[in-house]
Amino acid sequence: MTNPFDLGGRVALVTGANTGLGQGIAVALAEAGADVAAVGRSAPTETEARVTALGRRFAWIEASLDTHAPVQGVVDAARERLGGIDILVNNAGTIRRNDALDFTEDDWDAVMGVNLKTLFFLSQAVARSWVASKRGGKIVNIASMLSFQGGIRVASYTASKSAVLGVTRLLANEWAGKGINVNAIAPGYFATNNTEALRNDQTRNAAILDRIPAGRWGDPADLGGAAVFLSSAASDYVHGAVLPVDGGWLAR
Ligand code: NAP
């Protein structure tokens, strides 16, 4: 029987794959058989070593994703270097922490640019290439618990991640009929650079752990199964869904 989770022969473009969740996702997709195009501004040396050790092809496409400017070049580079894109994982993201009373325009724009604007325009560029070649594909957006909750001191992050959920649903509505699956993963609290400030704050760290039924912070490898599922034929009839991978946080 064919394995519906097999990604052999597919190319996955993963943004922000040099570290954290993006690295965990890139390695999981490679374990399932995919070659990986890692897009970002920092050299993904460790990710490259882990992906190539699995016998998969790997390309680093250097780009800063704050603006729309590099988007078409990224898609073209993936086609030139790995022959095309079958899976897009919009993972790159950033966060600014400040009281709402003190939040600046820069705090707002820096987060919305990478977390939302580039996610949309990269999805658009990849989907245009799929529609032009009359084929489908898989888009997986990385949302957050703050796609559902308000959070505190992270105004632009909450705005961006709430919007990621809305845009995921909108794109699913427009593109499901074209054979393009657009879905999201909502990670809970994972031990990465993004959450270092929280983990270093003893009070916040204890409060967060107290609410997680699994009783621990997530490890990037914990996202692998959800990423493979939403990138594979196993999810061909799944559109506009958000899959929490949160140790039970939302169930509380
Ligand atoms: P991370 O370790 O800080 O990784 C963030 C990634 O995004 C890095 O590869 C970073 O590249 C890249 N990035 C940020 N700004 C960029 C820009 N302007 N241009 C290009 N690349 C950029 O954090 P993470 O936790 O793995 O975050 C990955 C995603 O998961 C984000 O969307 C985040 O919001 C989301 N998320 C994380 C958690 C969590 O608990 N950790 C929970 C929910 C959602 P550099 O290394 O070059 O900065």
Query: What pLDDT digit, counting tens, does each position of 229-250 carry?
Result: 999 999 999 999 999 999 999 9
Tell me what pLDDT residue 215 has: 97
Average pLDDT over residues 133-156: 97
Catalogue all structural domains in the chain, each as residue range(s) with its CATH number: 11-241 (3.40.50.720)
Greater confidence (198 vs 159) lies with 159
Cα separation values, 220 from 50, 142, 151, 175, Å: 14, 13, 21, 29
Q: Could you report the per-residue pLDDT of 25-37, keeping only the tens digit for each?
A: 999 999 999 999 9
> 72 CB under 6 A from ligand 1?
no
Confidence grade of residue 6 (pLDDT, cut at 50, 70, 90):
very high
Which one is catalytic: 58, 130, 148, 157?
Answer: 157
Q: Ligand 1 centre from 155 Cα, in Å? A: 17
157 has catalytic annotation: yes
The model's pLDDT over 114-142, given as tens digits with 9 standing for 90+, comes to: 999 999 999 999 999 999 999 999 999 99
| Structure-token pair, residue 238 | 């799944």
Share of the chain above pLDDT 90, in %: 98
For the Cβ of 191 lying below 6 angstroms from any atom of ligand 1, the answer is no
State the burial class of residue 109 (Cβ atoms within 10 Å of its Cβ: 0-12, 13-18, 19+): middle
How many angstroms does the Cα of residue 3 sit away from the middle of ligand 1?
A: 31
Whether pTM > 0.85 for this model: the answer is yes
Ligand 1, residue 115: give the atom nearest the CA: 32
Nearest to 12 by CA among 3, 20, 2, 27: 27
pLDDT at 194: 87
| E strand or H helix at 126 | helix 118-132
The residue whose C-alpha atom lies closest to atom 13 belonging to ligand 1 is 92
Residue 231 in tokens:
């990138």
Whether 189 is in the pocket of ligand 1, judged by its Cβ within 6 Å, is: yes
Q: Is 118 in the pocket of ligand 1 (CB under 6 A)?
A: no
**Chain centre to alpha carbon of residue 192:** 14
214 within 8 A of 247, measured Cβ to Cβ: yes
